[in-house]
Amino acid sequence: MVGYMYKYNFKKRALHLGFGIILFLIFFVFGTSVSYDKSTSTVLKEQFQNKIKNIDNIGIFVNNFLISTLMFVPGIGIAFGLFSGFSTGNIFMIITRDLPIQIPPLLVFLTIFGIMELISYGIAISRSYLLLIHILKRTNIKENLIHTGIEIGIVAIILFFSAIIEWDLIRQSGNMNFLR
The CA–CA distances, whole Å, from 55 to 5, 39, 65, 99, 110 equal: 45, 25, 14, 22, 23
Q: Is the pTM of this model over 0.85?
A: yes
Closest CA to 64 of 180, 152, 178: 152
User: How many C-beta atoms lie closer than 10 Å to residue 63's C-beta?
Assistant: 15
Sequence spans of domains, the chain:
12-174
Could you list the mean pLDDT of each consecutive 10-residue stretch along the chain, which spans 180 residues?
60 96 97 91 88 88 97 97 96 87 88 96 97 93 93 98 93 62
The CA–CA distances, whole Å, from 85 to 24, 46, 62 equal: 5, 20, 17
| pLDDT score, position 78 | 97
